[in-house]
Amino acid sequence: MKKYSVINTPVHNIDGIAKITGRAKYTFDITLPRMLHGKILRSSYPHAEILHIDTSKAERLRGVKAVVTGKDTLGKKQGIWRRFKELCDEEILARDRVRYIGEPVAAVAAIDEDTAEQALDLIEVEYKPLPGVFEPLEAIKEGAPQLHEHAERNINVTRHIEWGDVDEGFKKADYVREDWFRCSSQAHVCMETHCAVADYTPEGKLTVYTSTQSHYYIKVLLAEILGLRENDVRVISRYTGGGFGSKFELDSAQFCSSLLSMKLCQPVKIVLTREEEFTATKRRTPMFYYVRSGIKKDGTFLAKEARVFTEGGAYTAMGATALYLTGFFQSFPYVWPSYRFDGYRVYTNTAPTSAMRGFGAPQATFCAETQIDLIADELGIDPIEIRRKNAMYPGYEVPGQATIQSCGLDQCLDKIDEWIKSRGKLPAHRGIGIAAYGFMSGGIFNWFDTPYAFSSAIVQINIDGKVDLYVGSQDMGQGSNTTMALICAEELGVKFEDIRLHMGDTENCPVDLGAWGSRETLMQGNAVKMAASKAKQQILEFAVAKLTPNIVYDLDIKDGCIHLIARPERGLSYYDVVKEAIRGKDGQPIIARGHYTPHRKGMISPAYSFGVQAVEADVDPDTGKITLKNCVTAHDCGQVINPLGVKGQLEGAIAMAAGYGFTEDLPMDEGKILNPNLVDYMLLRATEMPETTVMEVETYEPEGPFGAKEAGEGLTNPTAGALGNAVFHATGISIKNLPITPEKVLNALKEKKKK
Amino acid sequence: MGYQCPVCEKIWPDTMELARHVFGVGDQAHKDWVNSKGVNFIELLLLQTMEPGNKGYKALAEILEKEAKKVD
């Protein structure tokens, strides 16, 4: 007999048909009566004082309805780390100083986009250019231009993590290795660019349709910066065309459209262009890493010291979280008896860096996994065995940081080892590299300072047995709607098709902190399971009289049948009992609430995924060109909820992470991004995708719903490291500077030949 | 026995832990206290990361050893 009726069976996304038939309305598709179109004027200077803005010519242009500048704002600085006021450092519409190319300085609402665009050319901004600083290691030098008054030497955030006696560990080590790495930036490249339609009415209510990963955050941040009460702001986000970390902070489209709409009492729509998306939204954090490791000659890890400077860009954004997580995941997924991390996030006159899928962990994993293969090579130890020797295990406590409850890393290593052996002898210039990884299932620290539970859900069972499920989580394409419906159906013992999901609207959905940090399956999933369980309990109370168990807990619902757990053949129709239950409750539908907030689970996350990835690649010794052949991943995400969803996440993650590893970058000249378009920004294309295979390693995570944990972001962590190691095994050269381009490979091969 | 933070009065088991607390909080009050001891808060932080061996923390711990109130 199958353990579960609904979960662990592949299903297509609950909203898939609406999406592929074009019925799904994204913010981009929203049109309201009397709607105007907005455009944003952005700074062309990386660092300058704003002396004067003259909007009069733009205001006189036929078709222009309003122009706003920083003077029309309340002058409040905002940020998502609300618990630390110093880190709320961004005004969105600059009033007296711009700090990066692309920073908004004015916005226009007009009858159409062309008119709004024309009006931007008529706005005259008088700047006084200031010296800029673009690299973190330059920005910390004495005498470097200072971006913010409060940040001496441009140091924005620091993080220190330490356990064990690191210095003693190094003394005991037989072998010590140190390396410097440079991890590059990356753009999120969501299919749907940032956009918003704001509609303010004379009654003082603001409704904002927007593409976001957290409608709750946007509601609170907008209310705060616009001087409104929280519940006078409604945020609607039914469909979001990709997020990857770029859409849970307040953005210029949301803020400027709201400001313009409040001025005009008319709806205003702003859709960022692809160029704005590249230059004026946030991006993956470039990092300069120093890693030193002390090892015994048998491969046992003893001590590790890591130091990092991250390029923060002009504002804090989610950079503080990325700094902490990169420090924590630098030690992952291994047992390091002693570890010390010092991280510094530094302000620079570049577009702000922030969250992006993996949240600092892909950078850490690239450095750590590259170094482990170099150590294994020098000590003559097999790359699988050195990892196995030091792998985390169930019950391991990361001192002062986390407790690992479920961990299938050892089984993942077995599967990858088996696959590598099955490949036999490889042709010339081909290598297989591996990387092990882990990731969080949602964050614990309440930096947003919410008074609410981290996740909430409401279940309503109707007279026909159909279920309305209200969730606060946001599906941005990752499939969380489907996951929630599956969890609800499994817990209630009904069909997947019986669930009708309501999400993406702050007016009628409970609060959830949103889709980031791989939190939805575990956190929102637990809230859904609790709500469904409470609703089920109400139904079972009505079935007790007929089935006469010793106690109500002897009953369960499965496949639409209410039965004694010990005698599943003896049962009642769920649908009949629901009718009776509703009649017995004064004709009211059955309603229950669920919630989840992690507690007593350490500093980082309540649960961690684990995995190992192998990348097989060819390297052309004449051109340096890398061709991906295979990418095989053994992944432990606890109990799989939707196997098709996991596969989708894995394939998407490989495309994104391999792009980070060897094609994508955001080169700059004095703060100006040089490739802000899809021609010059080299996204990995379908033809460059390797064969992908996912091997699930099932474990049971006690903290997760039905034992589930994350399967979204963690999958982006290993690929750059595994790819770099494949190049190392194919050629003997190790590139420590991402992305691993043909030029870097060729130059390194030439250097090697010279030696 | 413990050591009391001269700024917020939290108690820590030793001066290294207390130094980590001072750098970790890093608000203006803690920065001002460190700067008033004839050293520069930011310089100590940079010393910590530019050279191996926990030098920044050790330097601050030495100051705290003399300056912080010992409590039972």
Judging contacts by C-beta atoms under 8 Å, the chain B residues touching residue A86 are 27
Coarse DSSP helix, strand, coil percentages of chain A, rounded to the nearest 5 percent: 30, 25, 40
Contact A160 B42 (CB under 8 A): no
Question: Is A652 a residue whose pLDDT tops 80?
Answer: yes
Size of interface A-B (CB pairs under 8 A): 31
Check CB contact under 8 Å for B54 and A167: yes
Q: How does pLDDT run across A260-272, given as a tens digit for each residue? A: 999 999 999 999 9
Helix (H, G, I), strand (E, B) or coil at A41: strand
Give the model confidence (pLDDT) of A149-178 as tens digits: 999 999 999 999 999 999 999 999 999 999
Q: Is A344 in Cβ contact with B23 (below 8 Å)?
A: no
Instruction: Give A320's contacts in chain B (Cβ within 8 Å).
Output: none
**Are the beta carbons of A158 and B42 separated by less than 8 Å?**
no
Average pLDDT over residues A110-136: 98
| Of the partner residues B20, B24, B49, the one whose CB lies closest to the CB of residue A307 | B49
Q: Half-sphere exposure (CA, 13 Å, Cβ side) for A681?
A: 22
- Does the pTM surpass 0.90? The reply is yes
Q: Report all structural domains of chain A as residue ranges with CATH numbers, in order of start.
A: 16-23+454-596 (3.30.365.10), 31-130+191-242+247-280 (3.90.1170.50), 357-443+604-754 (3.30.365.10)
The pLDDT of residue A566? 85
Encode A224-273 in three state secondary structure.
HHHCCCHHHEEEECCCCCCCCCCCCCCCHHHHHHHHHHHHHCCCEEEECC
Would you call B32 helix, strand, or coil by DSSP?
helix
Burial class (CB in 10 A: 0-12, 13-18, 19+), A211: buried
Mutate to test the interface with B, among A85, A140, A142, A158 (most CBs of B within 10 A): A158
Q: What angle do CA A277, A327, B22 make, to 5 degrees?
A: 110
Structure tokens at A747: 């130059």
Predicted-complex ipTM score: 0.75
Range of the domain at B41: 2-71
Closest residue to B52, CB basis, from A152, A155, A305? A305
B interface toward A at CB cutoff 8 Å? 20, 23-24, 26-28, 41-42, 45-46, 48-49, 52-54, 57
Q: Which residue of A has its CA nearest to B22?
A: A160
Q: Which residues of A touch B (CB under 8 A)?
A: 86, 140, 150, 152-153, 155, 158, 160, 162, 166-167, 292, 305, 307, 309, 340, 342, 344
Of the pLDDT bands very low, low, confident and very high (cuts 50, 70, 90), residue A545 is confident
Mark residue A169 as left, alpha or beta (left: phi above 0; alpha: psi -120 to 50; beta: remaining).
Answer: alpha
Predicted confidence at residue A429, as pLDDT, reads 96
Instruction: Name every residue whose Cβ is closer than 8 Å to that of residue A15 and which is 6 or more positions away in sequence.
Output: A24, A239, A475, A481, A482
If you ran DSSP here, which 8-state letter would residue A524 be given?
I
Q: What would the two tokens of residue A147 be?
A: 């971006």
Number of domains in chain B: 1
Average pLDDT over residues B23-48: 89
- Phi/psi region, residue B12 (left: phi>0; alpha: psi -120 to 50; beta: rest), is beta
CB-nearest to B46 from A140, A160, A340 is A140
Q: Calculate the alpha carbon distances from A338 to A164, A173, A179, A202, B46 in Å.
A: 4, 12, 18, 61, 22
What percent of chain A clears pLDDT 70, i.e. is strictly above it?
100
List chain B residues with CB under 8 Å of A140: 46
Among the listed residues A634, A609, A678, the one whose alpha carbon sits nearest the alpha carbon of residue A406: A609
Spatial contact of A562 and A547, defined as CB atoms under 8 Å apart: yes
- Which residue type sits at A610? F
Do A153 and B24 lie within an 8 Å CB cutoff?
no
Structure tokens at A629: 């052949």
- Which residues, 6+ apart, have CB-to-CB distance to A245 below 8 Å? A188, A213, A318, A354, A355, A356, A357, A359, A516
- Compute the nearest-CA separation of A108 from chain B (Å): 39
Token digits of residue A216 = 């709750």
Nearest to A707 by CA among A644, A647, A640: A640
Determine the Cα–Cα distance for residues A438 and A393; give it in Å rounded to an integer. 12
Is the distance from CB of A362 to CB of A722 less than 8 angstroms? no
Q: Which of B23, B53, B54 sits opposite A158 (nearest CB)?
A: B23
Which DSSP string corresponds to A46-84? SSEEEEEEE-HHHHHSTTEEEEEEGGGS----B-S-TTS
Amino acid at A29: D
State the burial class of residue A396 (Cβ atoms within 10 Å of its Cβ: 0-12, 13-18, 19+): middle
For A338-355, what is the mean pLDDT?
A: 96
Q: Please report which helix (H) or strand (E) contains residue A388, including its range.
A: helix A383-389
- Residues of chain A in contact with residue B46, where contact means CB-CB under 8 angstroms, are 140, 153
The b-or-e profile of A502-532 (16+ CB within 10 A means b, else e) is bbbbbeebbbbbbbbbbbbbbbbbbbbbbbb
Q: Do residues A660 and A597 touch, judged by C-beta distance below 8 A?
A: no
Q: At CB < 8 A and 24+ separation, what contacts does A394-400 make?
A: A394/A699, A396/A335, A398/A163, A398/A328, A398/A331, A398/A602, A399/A163, A399/A164, A400/A163, A400/A603
The pLDDT of residue A443 is above 70: yes
Amino acid at site A225: I
DSSP structure class, residue A685: P
Which one, of A28, A19, A25, A24, lies nearest residue A195 by Cα?
A28
DSSP assignment of A280-338: HS-EEPPEEEEEEEEE-TTS-EEEEEEEEEEEEESS-TTHHHHHHHHHHHTSTTB--SE
Residue B54 and residue A292: Cβ atoms within 8 Å? no
pLDDT of residue A1: 62
Contact B42 A152 (CB under 8 A): yes
Cα–Cα distance, A66 to A200 (Å, whole number): 14
pLDDT of residue A2: 76
Residue A594 pLDDT greater than 90, yes or no? yes
With CA atoms as reference, report the closest residue to A184 among A394, A377, A350, A4.
Answer: A350
One-letter identity of residue B51: E
Q: How many angstroms separate the CA of residue B24 from the nearest CA in chain A? A: 7
Q: What are the pLDDT digits (tens) for A472-529? A: 999 999 999 999 999 999 999 999 999 999 999 999 999 999 999 999 999 999 999 9
**Residue with the two structure tokens 């006696």:** A165
Q: What is the pLDDT of residue A154?
A: 96
pLDDT tens-digit map of A682-729: 999 999 999 999 999 989 999 999 999 999 899 999 999 999 999 999
The residues, ordered by sequence, that sit 6+ positions from A435 with a Cβ below 8 Å of its Cβ are A365, A369, A612, A613, A615, A717, A718, A719, A721, A722, A725
**């986000």: which residue's tokens?**
A237
Q: For residue B52, is pLDDT > 90?
A: no
pLDDT in tens, A210-241: 999 999 999 999 999 999 999 999 999 999 99
Angle at Cα A203 formed by Cα A199 and Cα A207, nearest 5°? Answer: 25
| Residues A164, B30: Cα–Cα separation, whole Å | 26
Q: Is the pLDDT of residue A317 over 90?
A: yes
Average pLDDT, chain A: 96
Q: Which pLDDT does position A209 carry in this prediction?
A: 98
pLDDT average, residue stretch A386-414: 97
To the nearest whole Å, the CA of B23 is away from the closest chain A CA by 8
Percent of chain A with pLDDT over 90: 93
The rounded mean pLDDT for chain B is 90
Nearest C-alpha in B relative to A86: B27
**CA A298, CA A139: separation in Å to the nearest integer?**
42
